[in-house]
Amino acid sequence: MGFSGLRILVLGGTGVISSGVVRRAVQAGHEVTVLNRGLNRAGAVHEPPEQARTLVADLRDEASVRAAVGAEEFDVVASFLAFVPEHVRQDLDIFAGRTGQYVFISSASAYQTPPARLPIVESTPLRNPFWQYSRDKIACEDLLVAEYRDKGLPITIVRPSHTYDATLVPFDGGWTVIERMRRGLPVVVPGDGTSLWTLTHTRDFARAFVGLLGDPRTLGQAFHITADHGIPWNELYTTLGRAAGVEPSLVHVPSDRIAALDPETGAGLLGDKAHSMVFDNSLVRSIVPGWHATTPFVQGAREIVEWHDAEPSRRVVDARMDALFDRLVAEAGH
């Protein structure tokens, strides 16, 4: 499945998603180079495997990147840290003509929000009036599509949805939510908890992502890579609580109210998590035959709790979010 022996440059490489891609690409026999600021500590959970070469540069400094890569060419350049069109434009200024495939990591939150119909397919319109992050990703895609149409630039767009690994509690507030469960305190679930949400483990994402690399059928095309089914938020909270050894008490609060008290959290809720999101992955499977996500969240939840419980310093409580949860719970009469 997929091509082997590609020279791949990963811009980033130490995040939840990109580190999984680096590990998978190395396993698949590719020659992988990661380029980042080199701040990840030795032994850190997302440290690149020893088979991957690391170049050090500040991705926001074009001269720094040019100095790090020199005159090298790559079969694939995968950009995990481009968030606004200026970032993409710099990538293209440096790498256009030096790679056979530029892969831009966008976001499934770019899709029409709220969606007019489910499941989401790649041709679902892109529009998100609630979240600037998503609008910036759409603007990046617009730039790349124009470059493909006008100049034949070999681009591929990949839209992850909510992708996690053992290091990431997939709720606003992170470990704070689990700590509240263990202290016997109610936890806040946006809305009524019945909307469907899709969580994808980074292992599953990486298998499909690496399968898209080097394939000419992907050029000019956008793909999302997600699990195939949505899970109600109530079930997600309950599953993670049980993995932590407790039966959580759930308090439902309208997303609009959360956004009113905390606009930063609210943007991600109204612009993404408040709406049911279920995806059709037929397109990625047409390139990566037989692929599907195989990690159920009940397993992922156990891995999350085990990883955090293994080291006290990982169990970080966000005092600001904890106080916000207290206020929302009190307003709800609990």
Residue 293 lies in a domain: no
Residue 287 lies in a domain: no
Domain that holds residue 243: 169-196+233-277+298-331
Backbone phi and psi for residue 99, each to the nearest 5 degrees, phi listed first: -150, 150
Residue 286 lies in a domain: no
Say which residues have a Cβ less than 8 Å from residue 78's Cβ, sequence separation at least 6.
8, 9, 10, 11, 18, 21, 103, 105, 213
* Same domain (yes/no): 93, 183: no
Tokens read off for 35: 């380029």
* Same domain (yes/no): 31, 78: yes
Distance CA 124, CA 161 (A): 14
3-state SS assignment for residue 48: coil
* Same domain (yes/no): 147, 256: no
Q: How far is CA 133 from CA 44, 127, 136, in A?
A: 27, 12, 5
pLDDT for res 78? 98
Q: What is the DSSP-derived secondary structure letter of residue 120?
A: B
Q: Which amino acid is at 42?
A: A
Kindly report the pTM of this predicted structure: 0.94
Helix (H) or strand (E) holding 21: helix 16-27
pLDDT for res 43? 46
pLDDT of the chain along its 334 residues, tens only?
A: 456 699 999 999 999 999 999 999 999 999 999 999 886 544 456 888 899 999 999 999 999 999 999 999 999 999 999 999 999 999 999 999 999 999 999 999 999 999 999 999 999 999 999 999 999 999 999 999 999 999 999 999 999 999 999 999 999 999 999 999 999 999 999 999 999 999 999 999 999 999 999 999 999 999 999 999 999 999 999 999 999 999 999 999 999 999 899 998 888 888 778 889 999 999 999 999 999 999 999 999 999 999 999 999 999 999 999 999 999 999 987 7
* Same domain (yes/no): 24, 93: yes
Distance CA 231, CA 162 (A): 12
Q: Any bridge partners for residue 223, and if so which? A: 158
Torsion of CA 209, 210, 216, 220, to 10 degrees: 30
Number of domains in the chain: 2
Residue 1 lies in a domain: no
pLDDT for res 305? 98
Q: How far is CA 269 from CA 7, 113, 190, 197, 260, in A?
A: 38, 11, 8, 12, 11
* Same domain (yes/no): 17, 97: yes
* CATH code, 91: 3.40.50.720
